[in-house]
Structure 1
Amino acid sequence: MGLGRGLAIGTLAVGLLVTSETPALAGNGPAYKDSWRPVKVRVADLLGRMSLDDKLGQMMQAERLGVKSPADVTTGRLGSLLSGGSSQPTPNTPVTWADMYDGFQKAALATPLGIPLVYGVDAVHGHNGVYGATVFPHNIGLGASRDPRLVQKIGRATAEEVSGTGIDWDFAPCLCVARNDRWGRTYESFGEVPQLATEMSTVITGLQGTRLDQPGSVMATAKHYVGDGGTTGGVNEGNTEISEQELRAVHLPPFKAAVDRGVGSVMISYSSWNGVKMHAGSYLINDVLKKELGFKGIVVSDYNGVDKIDGKTGFTPEEVEASINAGIDMVMVPYNWQTFIDTLRTLVQQGRVPLSRIDDANRRILTKKFELGLFEHPLTDRRFLKTIGSKDHRDLALQAVRESQVLLKNDHHVLPLLKHGKIFVAGKNADDMGNQSGGWTVGWQGTSGPVIPGTTILQGIRSSSSKVTYAKDGTGIDQSYDVAVAVVGETPYAETKGDRPQGMGLDDTDLATLQKLKDSGVPTVVVLVSGRPLDIAAQVGDWAGLVESWLPGSEGAGVADVLFGDYNPTGKLPVTWMRSAGQQPINVGDGRPALFPFGYGLHYSRHW
């Protein structure tokens, strides 16, 4: 196709007056390849050149393990790939990631129109899938910090590390408002009130920068739209049974804030609203998100989200029709993307999905690809490799850990710890990087053990005092110690597996360790490493001190900085702390008595 037709398409599409002095229309190639032209002109020109197969391919996001080779990207005209939570290249190094990305990107550029891929990952607390990356506290800890500026800096640091591996698209932040702490994604929430998620939407600005095509900027994703934190019983992928008034008052505001910040994409929730799956929820997507809120970016499904509409395995034509017509622009179909393309093609040919809907989805997708600068700079910007796990980023994570600690109890000023005191440390989470990092850490559900480099809480304590004895199960403690520090709580999990419909208390291992410390008579400070409040009312009376550490990530020394008073605790509870699991859901304003109320957090009052 010659330049003349390209000009005509671009001009007619946006109604531009073309003159010889219009620099945007200079050049001799196709209009969409001319970086001087306005994005709308480039999109219109490219869309006019695309076949139906080109357009359907752009709407597919496959798991990189779901393509047999990069050649599948070329033949399928795929618009996007993702690495799921446990989809890392081997070996898992930043350079291997960059090489993998570039290989797939070159395959996309080999298509007739040379449309680049956009590649997504769940970098939800740093570039957490990459070994050696800086792992920041999970969102619930950042909510406790009440520090939007810090969160914006974390967004920027994450974007730089993501960019160093080539990735353009981050499936973060989670802007859910967690209303029932039984939910396994509670730690991905900034807190139980919409104001917290709204304030912390600064992370979007950090991720995206002032322009998406700036070096070190990546596209952010507001997820999961909408109401996923309000399901009955805190059941993951469950049913949010509330009025539209409550949905708008509690769950919608953070998404409005995200749209106002120019967030590039919005991911749809697996959950339902009053029995209607969000992936088929045309009113909330088309009418509220796109029209009322004015969202112009990409609406993306969750992983196999369309397949879950009817509750049966395997997507049907009815599910595909419902989801695309409901306003989903890009579909995350990890493995069966070819079947999805074939199904959608048939639906378009039958008139069940209008071609105008396909074109609208492609305009949104292509607009972001142009805005990201992918047509000009499709390959990895390897200048950012050096930022991955850098000292500057780890120092930022260290500060985030300090600011996220919440001091809940401090009888007789047992804290801060005396650096010359004799300290006994116990607990399964004291010296375990995986436990303190939680889910979404080099693996979807996370893993206990030395899964990433960093500093454990025990290592941080030992760097602050030379009189430290450690026994994981508490064996060996006696009256000679001034204080015991028990680092206990949860082990890693992510959604569904992390749901706790039954009890929410400490496990038998923790209870046995705490009993040994109690029997010794030594004052005990408990450090809880957890993704949510735990049911501790029966034990908290035995403890002299209590610090909620959340899931601090790779820089455990920040916990020690607070324990020893090098940093006066400033964290405030982003959730209401239940008196018992039977109180769930319990939230600020519902008039129910809490063990510790929303916003609670002590400081050290004396000098030392």
Structure 2
Amino acid sequence: MAITTLRRLALASAIVASLAACQKPNTESVAPETGNAVTESSPSASSQAPVVWPDIQSEVKQDATIEARIDQIIETLTLEEKVGQMIQPEIRHLTPDDVRKYHVGSVLNGGGSFPSGDKYASVEDWLALADGFYLASIDKSNGRAGIPIMWGTDAVHGVGNVVGATLFPHNIALGAANNPELLKQIGWATARELLVTGIDWDFSPTVAVARNERWGRTYESWSEAPEIVGAYAGEMVRGLQGEAGEDFMGEGRVLATAKHFIGDGGTKDGIDRGDTVGDELHLRDVHGAGYFTALEAGVQAVMASFTRWDGKRMHGHDYLLNDVLKGQMNFDGLVVGDWAGHSFVQGCTATNCPQSVNAGLDVFMAPDADWKELYQNTVQNVKDGDITMARIDDAVRRILRVKLRAGLFEAGKPSSRPLAGKAELLGAPEHRAIARKAVQQSLVMLKNSDGLLPLSREAKVLVTGDGADNIGKQAGGWSISWQGTGNKNSDFPSGTSVFDGIESVVNAGGGEAILSEDGSFETKPDVAIVVFGEDPYAEMQGDVSNLAYKRGKTDDLELLQSFKDANIPVVALFITGRPLWVNRELNASDAFVVIWQPGTEGVGVSDVLFRNNDGDINVPMSGKLSFSWPKTPDQVPLNVGDENYDPLFPYGFGLTYADTDTLGDDLSEEGLTVSATSDVLPLFDRRPIEPWGIEAVGAENDRLVMEGKTMSTSTVTVTAVDRNEQEDARQVVFNGQGPGHVALFVDERQDWTGYVEDQAALIFDIKVDSAPTQTTYLRFGCGSYCASDLDMTEGMKEYLVGNGWQTLSVDLKCFPTSGENFGVQQPPEEFLTQVLRPFTIYTEGELDMSFANVRIEKNKAASALINCQNP
């Protein structure tokens, strides 16, 4: 039975108000620790016989002179100075005066964090900030010890925070190259470019063994197989730090970090920061591989993982940090936390966590503005006896050992060091040559019907696809911004797109290369090259529920098929950070090459794709899969050695130009409904879930789509903020200067009649920090001519403002009957087949609110806070 708009809006407002009042603020940031191991096929860790971890002997030996010097320094330090060495704030919340006052031992910049918040900060800007921190740290006035500070950053595939730096292919691509020596070269080049900016510590390498490709950090892993990870980790460390006994921490070297200890690639369902699957033997033999060789090579830092194993968070895992890492494996460097990871430990908060220190954490990564409270509480923890002075001294000894080994006491201010300020080293030709070679060796060919590849340089080539001339897309995450979003080609001034490379070789060979954004052409080309794939993402926001490429979206497929239909040979170049189910795209292609995320040197792709000017093979196609490729969207986990192992392409597969391809065009295309039939349809889960995006529209009809960390229209500002995890929520501030809205939107209208039939509800988490000054609506829309509004004003004012995070739910049946609000009466059945903006906040006044975890859930209508089941 229909319900009138006025009656429905009044009812909705009343229900929001009354039910919001009954809800308690959600102050839980993490699920409680269970004390139980999470395993799939293995017994609990507690049921296993003792596991012996390897006795690692580091190539970097303890030096008696250094140890004696550490003893002398520790004797002079106050408790406050010792604790200060253990605190690592983020540059956005730290000043040189803070460094001096709190004896800060190290600093970091997160992904997308720059001096003064300027994405285009110059080398001089970076050095000026580094010098300021350094000079404050060595100030010995008033009896201070004057210990030099360190600066760490996530240079995981090159110096990702600095415009102009060389960005190498991500680790998954390097795994396909199967060349450990290449890793040493990449480490060497990365260290040199870091030192240009004055940064002396790299939070790399990531030595995860990714075992479930739904994990959003799969591309940061070299392989699903521990053998490749073990072969690579030590070489990358040597490239960054230098060889022990030779040029260890000499000119052009930086400190390395093996991360994230341990089991980050093995979480249940591939959920970032989740529970690591497997018993201790599995943990050692699979996930330990990279640590064994990294420790042997002398890595000076190990970063604790967010993950949990045997019921305990790694940041508080005494057995694994103290007994295994520092004990059985003899690690004498420092253990650093990860982005307030200590706050996830049972009984801890971001500002108070003696449990982590006692469990073996030496340096708190404290990226938020409240780091001073953590410092003060840790000092008090020692005074209260919750942390022993012996444990503090051990942590400080490790920190000092690393700093002395790195030569920081004698290095001078960052701007005075040998490579500092040499901007010509950013994107230097010799570094780009290494990256280009890495691209060449990493390409994996899955299909090559009738030997289409390599192509002749004399051909007329049409190049299309949204990745063809898009360096940001081909660079992936951790590229200038944390998630790799919001960039344009000019942000990579020394880089080349895939099209740039194709154009250069084809023109040099007498052919013609044409870039066509939509795939159209006037004269029929000899071949079409379609460059497409995943858009950039990073940790958490890259997690997916299944491996279906684009979750059923067909624009890339239609582009491929259009060339097939025109009888034009088509080459698919697939940009991706993980193996995905692309059977449809494989069927629609004559040749299919996985180019992964090649970084800034897109020209490396054309080096392999085309013959040389003499018609011979220019560079061989040599890459081999370091991850198994799925047959179906839900074929995860899928790892070589599994029982009933049956991938579409096995681990180690990769066609060469000498191979005959027998794949054909008849792969099964069943499985497209996996995500469409799920009980939960996520719209925003730490990020907008593809195909959904975030838009803001201001009073001047100025519309922006969110691609970076923040965006502002004339009346609306949207910013990525931390709720439970890094940037997992969005804050929306309306300035009251006129109408505006923020919305989750999609380009192609969605048919949601099935969700209404299945009694679904719109559910979202919301926090209101400043009450609305004018009427505020929750809007469900299908475009400019139809929408349905629920008045949230009184509920926000009376019960939501100041009460922290709340979860609200709305029966979908409450929405599609108020098209008359916009002067158009839209029939409910038509409304629900044209869904474009199912979650919109609209107001003309001032409002400061945040949202997170927006989803549609079936069978939740009757229990929704606002329901219209029985009007």
TM-score scaled by structure 1?
0.91
Q: How far off is 1:254 after superposition?
A: 1.2
1:191-243 deviation line (CA, Å, top 9, x unaligned): 10111111111010000013544111111000000001000100000111311
Q: How far off is 1:350 after superposition?
A: 1.4
1:391-449 deviation line (CA, Å, top 9, x unaligned): 11111111111011111111101100111111111110110010000000101000253
CA contact (8 A) 1:141 1:552 kept: yes
AA partner of residue 582 (structure 2): I
What is the CA–CA distance in structure 1 between the aligned matches of 2:220 and 2:103, rounded to whole Å? Answer: 34
What is the CA–CA distance in structure 2 between the aligned matches of 1:171 and 1:581, rounded to whole Å? Answer: 33
CA contact (8 A) 2:546 2:634 kept: no
1:289 to 292, 313, 325: 325
Structure 1: 4+ residue segments shifted above 4 A: none
Structure 1, 85-94 or 336-345: larger mean CA deviation: 85-94
CA contact (8 A) 2:557 2:588 kept: no
What is the CA–CA distance in structure 2 between the aligned matches of 1:561 and 1:342, rounded to whole Å? Answer: 57
Name the structure with the higher strand share.
2
Aligned to 1:339: 373
Aligned to 2:474: 436
CA contact (8 A) 2:469 2:500 kept: yes
AA partner of residue 203 (structure 1): M
Structure 1, 267-276 or 448-457: larger mean CA deviation: 448-457
Aligned to 1:587: 639
CA contact (8 A) 2:223 2:229 kept: yes
What is the CA–CA distance in structure 2 between the aligned matches of 1:294 and 1:402, rounded to whole Å? Answer: 38
Aligned to 2:653: 600
Aligned to 1:18: none
Q: Would you say 1:109 and 2:138 are equivalent positions?
A: yes
Aligned to 1:77: 103
Aligned to 2:585: 539
CA contact (8 A) 2:547 2:580 kept: no
What is the CA–CA distance in structure 2 between the aligned matches of 1:562 and 1:503, rounded to whole Å? Answer: 28
Q: How far off is 1:539 after superposition?
A: 2.8
CA contact (8 A) 2:169 2:597 kept: yes
Q: Which runs of 5+ in 2 are unaligned?
A: 1-62, 612-617, 660-871
Aligned to 1:365: 399
Relative contact order (C-alpha < 8 Å, sep 6+): which is higher? Answer: 1
Q: Would you say 1:504 and 2:548 are equivalent positions?
A: yes
Aligned residue for 1:38, secondary structure, equals helix
Aligned residue for 1:345, secondary structure, equals helix
Aligned residue for 1:95, secondary structure, equals helix
Q: Would you say 1:416 and 2:454 are equivalent positions?
A: yes
What is the CA–CA distance in structure 2 between the aligned matches of 1:297 and 1:153, rounded to whole Å? Answer: 24
What is the CA–CA distance in structure 2 between the aligned matches of 1:132 and 1:503, rounded to whole Å? Answer: 33
Distance 1:99 1:382, change over 3 A: farther
Aligned to 2:677: none
Aligned to 1:568: 620
What is the CA–CA distance in structure 2 between the aligned matches of 1:477 and 1:406, rounded to whole Å? Answer: 32
1:98-156 deviation line (CA, Å, top 9, x unaligned): 22211111111114211100110001111111111111111111111111111101101
1:323 to 344, 350, 356: 356
What is the CA–CA distance in structure 1 between the aligned matches of 2:483 and 2:346, rounded to whole Å? Answer: 26
CA contact (8 A) 1:212 1:373 kept: no
Aligned to 2:23: none
Aligned residue for 1:539, secondary structure, equals helix
Q: How far off is 1:311 after superposition?
A: 9.5
What is the CA–CA distance in structure 2 between the aligned matches of 1:328 and 1:307, rounded to whole Å? Answer: 12
What is the CA–CA distance in structure 1 between the aligned matches of 2:459 and 2:65, rounded to whole Å? Answer: 66
CA contact (8 A) 1:435 1:449 kept: no
What is the CA–CA distance in structure 1 between the aligned matches of 2:457 and 2:399, rounded to whole Å? Answer: 56
Aligned residue for 1:475, secondary structure, equals coil
Matches within 5 A, 1:403-552: 403-447=441-485, 448-450=487-489, 451-453=491-493, 454-466=495-507, 467-476=512-521, 480-506=524-550, 507-552=553-598
CA contact (8 A) 1:477 1:517 kept: no
Aligned to 2:600: 554
What is the CA–CA distance in structure 2 between the aligned matches of 1:534 and 1:547, rounded to whole Å? Answer: 13
Aligned to 2:852: none
Structure 1, 208-217 or 166-175: larger mean CA deviation: 208-217
Aligned residue for 2:215, secondary structure, equals coil
Q: How far off is 1:477 after superposition?
A: 7.1
Q: How far off is 1:362 after superposition?
A: 0.2
Matches within 5 A, 1:371-386: 371-380=405-414, 381-383=417-419, 385=422, 386=424
Aligned residue for 2:285, secondary structure, equals helix
Aligned residue for 1:306, secondary structure, equals helix
Aligned to 1:149: 181
1:463-499 deviation line (CA, Å, top 9, x unaligned): 0113112212322377x22211110101100011101
Q: How far off is 1:378 after superposition?
A: 3.1
Aligned residue for 2:88, secondary structure, equals strand
Aligned to 1:19: none
What is the CA–CA distance in structure 1 between the aligned matches of 2:355 and 2:328, rounded to whole Å? Answer: 21
CA contact (8 A) 1:80 1:118 kept: yes
Matches within 5 A, 1:266-281: 266-281=302-317
Aligned residue for 1:551, secondary structure, equals coil
What is the CA–CA distance in structure 2 between the aligned matches of 1:268 and 1:194, rounded to whole Å? Answer: 19
Aligned to 2:389: 355
What is the CA–CA distance in structure 1 between the aligned matches of 2:628 and 2:636, rounded to whole Å? Answer: 10
Structure 1, 464-473 or 237-246: larger mean CA deviation: 464-473
Q: Would you say 1:190 and 2:190 are equivalent positions?
A: no
What is the CA–CA distance in structure 1 between the aligned matches of 2:518 and 2:281, rounded to whole Å? Answer: 50
CA contact (8 A) 1:212 1:218 kept: no
Q: Would you say 1:216 and 2:268 are equivalent positions?
A: no
1:124 to 144, 152, 156: 156
1:63 to 90, 93, 97: 90
What is the CA–CA distance in structure 1 between the aligned matches of 2:347 and 2:582, rounded to whole Å? Answer: 36
Aligned length: 567
What is the CA–CA distance in structure 2 between the aligned matches of 1:161 and 1:539, rounded to whole Å? Answer: 38
AA partner of residue 407 (structure 1): M
CA contact (8 A) 2:321 2:359 kept: yes
AA partner of residue 527 (structure 2): V
Q: Would you say 1:199 and 2:199 are equivalent positions?
A: no
CA contact (8 A) 1:537 1:595 kept: no
CA contact (8 A) 2:184 2:236 kept: yes
1:392 to 426, 430, 434: 430
Structure 1, 172-181 or 541-550: larger mean CA deviation: 541-550
What is the CA–CA distance in structure 2 between the aligned matches of 1:239 and 1:311, rounded to whole Å? Answer: 18
TM-score scaled by structure 2?
0.64
What is the CA–CA distance in structure 2 between the aligned matches of 1:199 and 1:281, rounded to whole Å? Answer: 27
Distance 1:477 1:270, change over 3 A: farther
